[in-house]
């Protein structure tokens, strides 16, 4: 029996290491395996709904994922995107900030935070997150576009022109996934 339990523990450790099973953090700070298969299929379903422009349903799907795994960065960032898209910039910034607490260099989360700040009439505050988004992923075309637009809004046309040049170069770079 002990050998079976040990082998099961080693198998789970291997799956955790290669990323086939995720963990969730319990309220007492311990980590336990999540229902990876159900969680990943729920996340994939929400992503499919987003790609199909069924944003309300996608947002519900991401919320379901976050109910099970509140630290799921992908679900947080995708939720932030949808909230920004629908003009709910405060909620988008909240979701982006939650994602950044776990992955401070996440370019998409920084992009959503910067966009939310810009659209919340805080263009100067938006510059930092957008610059970091581009620094962390020079191919983040959306962050480059928003950064250029922010500089134009602030009448900083030389900076906008420089970002436009970077955007043109970034569009030529191959996308590596």
* Cα 33 to Cα 16: distance, rounded to the nearest angstrom: 8
Angle in degrees, 0-180, between the axes of helices 73-85 and 107-119, rounded to the nearest 10? 30
Summarize pLDDT for 149-162 with one digit per residue, the tens: 999 999 999 999 99
For residue 128, the model assigns a pLDDT of 98
CA 86 from chain centre, in angstroms, equals: 17
pTM over 0.85: no
Stretch (H or E) spanning 31: strand 31-33
Indicate if the pLDDT at residue 1 is higher than 90.
no
**Band of pLDDT at residue 176, cut at 50, 70 and 90:** low
For residue 20, the model assigns a pLDDT of 40
User: C-alpha angle with apex 25: 67 to 23, nearest 5 degrees?
Assistant: 90
């Amino acid at each position: 029996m002990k050998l079976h339990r040990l082998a099961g523990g080693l198998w789970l450790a291997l799956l955790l290491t290669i990323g086939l099973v995720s963990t969730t953090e319990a309220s007492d700070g311990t980590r336990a395996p999540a229902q990876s298969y159900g969680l990943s299929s729920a996340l994939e379903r929400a992503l499919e709904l987003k790609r199909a422009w069924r944003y309300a349903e996608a947002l519900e799907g991401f919320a379901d994922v976050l109910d099970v795994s509140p630290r799921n960065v992908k679900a947080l960032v995708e939720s932030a995107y949808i909230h920004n898209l629908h003009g709910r910039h405060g909620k988008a910034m909240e979701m982006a900030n939650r994602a950044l607490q776990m992955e401070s260099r996440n370019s998409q989360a920084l992009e959503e935070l910067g966009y939310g700040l810009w659209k919340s009439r805080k263009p100067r505050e938006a510059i930092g997150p957008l610059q970091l988004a581009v620094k962390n992923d020079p191919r983040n075309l959306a962050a480059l576009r928003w950064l250029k637009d922010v500089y134009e809004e602030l009448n900083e046309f030389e900076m906008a022109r420089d970002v436009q040049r970077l955007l043109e170069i970034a569009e030529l770079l191959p996308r590596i996934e």
